[in-house]
Amino acid sequence: MAFGSCGELRHTLSCQPISPSCDPGRTLKATCGGVREFVCIYSRCLGIIEKRRARNAKERMTTVLVTGGAGFIGSCLVRQLIAQSDAAVVNVDMLTYAGNLDSLARVADNPRYRFERVDIRDALAIRRVVEQHRPDWIMHLAAESHVDRSIDGPAEFIQTNIVGTYVLLEEARRYFGSLTGAARERFRFHHISTDEVFGSLGENGLFTETTAYAPNSPYAASKASSDHLVRAWGHTYGLPIIITNCSNNYGPFQFPEKLIPLVILNALDGKPLPVYGNGSNVRDWLYVEDHARALREVIARGQLGETYNIGGHNEQRNIEVVHMICDVLDELRPKSKSVPHRSLIRFVTDRPGHDQRYAIDASKIQRELGWQPKETFATGLRKTVQWYLENGAWCERALSGNYRRERLGVKV
């Protein structure tokens, strides 16, 4: 009997104990919904069962080092790991402009959570963190991620995304070399990347795991470089690596330089909603919680050395996305002076080298790991708008640095 698993506890909760005087935690033979053996959960047994559960969990606790855990996708992953698994999480983040510890407020006091303010390019600091926390898994999300910023200043992207990944790989290799037995078997280096490495699609077709790399922006080129480094460290040094490439994420806690949060916050303030070019560019939107769940599946059960594409099965033209946000706001803020919010839309100069269309074929991860997105765009977008309406303090803090929602990426 898999003692203490959640499924079993849920199951036994619906059972009546055979006798109030049974031994705490004793395995009972009885018929219960087709299951013949179960643990007594008579109230006085529960404490002991919980203690045993905690002890079992501790014995097999996985330690996950997440880089970029104060960012948008990273913080979602950290919150999920703490809330939905028994793992210990070490968050390595330098807290640049888009990193925000407020996004981790609900896990900050959890005994399984640790924060290390470290630059991934600092080899000695990374070595210290790795040796101190001895991770089973490294999940690498730290990156400069905004295309418009990469057009204005590519240097940071080369430094963080390429040099940073190189340093992390070297420290992971050194650490992996020191591991033996089960610890060596367990170790994984999971590199989280983007579909932008594949370039731009025409009207038809989808990015698969075998699509040739053709990055178009400095950002995409820096991520493509980091993917190649990770692959090479796997091939040459035998580092147990896995790579994932995801489509556009959206959801709560996203820094308001990206299309969806920018449009929501501008609309709330009655400011223009900038749509690049004619708004016909297509993105494949993935709710961030679905993405984090996919990452957890991949690191736990994915094939070593493999790449998995993660997408939302949800292609939308930019103008459609902006329309949908405006319509939700009309409904949720009917008294706003900006109703109809669509009146705030402005078509502005296009992004240089703007990729026309991204769309992911996510059939491999669905077939091999059974993952598929749960959120529809309508439900995910509504939740997202609602979250920004209710979290003004987080938005103010996020916007308290240098960024003032000004247009970026046009000074070429």
Residue 213 and residue 199: Cα distance in Å, rounded? 7
User: Residue 170 half-sphere exposure, CB side, CA atoms within 13 Å?
Assistant: 14
In the bound state with ligand DAU, the residue whose beta carbon lies nearer, of 262 and 344, is 262
Nearest residue to 6 via CA among 113, 79, 83, 90: 83
In the bound state with ligand DAU, the residue whose beta carbon lies nearer, of 87 and 292, is 292
Catalytic annotation present for 219: yes
CB of 142 to ligand DAU, least distance (A): 12
Report the chain's C-alpha Rg in angstroms.
Answer: 23
Interface with ligand DAU, residue 287, by CB under 6 A: no
- Kindly tell me which residue out of 12, 194, 244, 307 binds ligand DAU, with binding defined by CB under 6 A: 194
Interface with ligand DAU, residue 281, by CB under 6 A: yes
Interface with ligand DAU, residue 291, by CB under 6 A: no
The structure tokens 């008294």 sit at 335
Among 119, 171, 196, 289, the active-site one is 196
Judged by CB under 6 A, how many residues of this single chain contact ligand DAU? 19
CB of 3 to ligand DAU, least distance (A): 43
Q: Are strands 282-284 and 315-317 parallel, antiparallel or unpaired?
A: antiparallel
Among 136, 195, 290, 315, the active-site one is 195
| Contacts for 15 with CB less than 8 Å, ≥ 6 apart | 30, 32, 33, 38, 41
Interface with ligand DAU, residue 157, by CB under 6 A: no
The structure tokens 């977008």 sit at 381
In the bound state with ligand DAU, the residue whose beta carbon lies nearer, of 115 and 358, is 358
CB of 147 to ligand DAU, least distance (A): 4
In the bound state with ligand DAU, the residue whose beta carbon lies nearer, of 229 and 282, is 282
Interface with ligand DAU, residue 112, by CB under 6 A: no
Cβ proximity of 140 and 67 under 8 Å: yes
The two tokens of residue 384 are 């997202």
Interface with ligand DAU, residue 262, by CB under 6 A: yes
The two tokens of residue 159 are 């430094």
Residue 131 and residue 168: Cα distance in Å, rounded? 13
- Kindly tell me which residue out of 164, 274, 311, 373 binds ligand DAU, with binding defined by CB under 6 A: 274
Q: Is 110 exposed, middle or buried (0-12, 13-18, 19+ CB in 10 A)?
A: middle
Among 113, 166, 219, 276, the active-site one is 219
User: Residue 27 half-sphere exposure, CB side, CA atoms within 13 Å?
Assistant: 8
From residue 205 to residue 244, the character string flagging contacts with ligand DAU as x (rule: CB under 6 A) and all else as - is ----------------------------------------
CB of 276 to ligand DAU, least distance (A): 4
CB of 350 to ligand DAU, least distance (A): 9
- Kindly tell me which residue out of 80, 248, 307, 314 binds ligand DAU, with binding defined by CB under 6 A: 248
Q: Is 123 exposed, middle or buried (0-12, 13-18, 19+ CB in 10 A)?
A: middle
Give the CB-nearest residue to ligand DAU.
194
Interface with ligand DAU, residue 341, by CB under 6 A: no
Catalytic annotation present for 119: no
Catalytic annotation present for 23: no
Residues 358-377 that bind ligand DAU (CB under 6 A): 358
From residue 307 to residue 326, the character string flagging contacts with ligand DAU as x (rule: CB under 6 A) and all else as - is -----------x--------
Interface with ligand DAU, residue 145, by CB under 6 A: yes
Interface with ligand DAU, residue 147, by CB under 6 A: yes
In the bound state with ligand DAU, the residue whose beta carbon lies nearer, of 240 and 256, is 256
Interface with ligand DAU, residue 146, by CB under 6 A: yes
CB of 322 to ligand DAU, least distance (A): 8
User: Which residues contribute to the site for ligand DAU (CB under 6 A)?
Assistant: 145-147, 194-196, 247-248, 258-259, 262, 274-276, 281, 283, 318, 351, 358
Active site residues: 195-196, 219
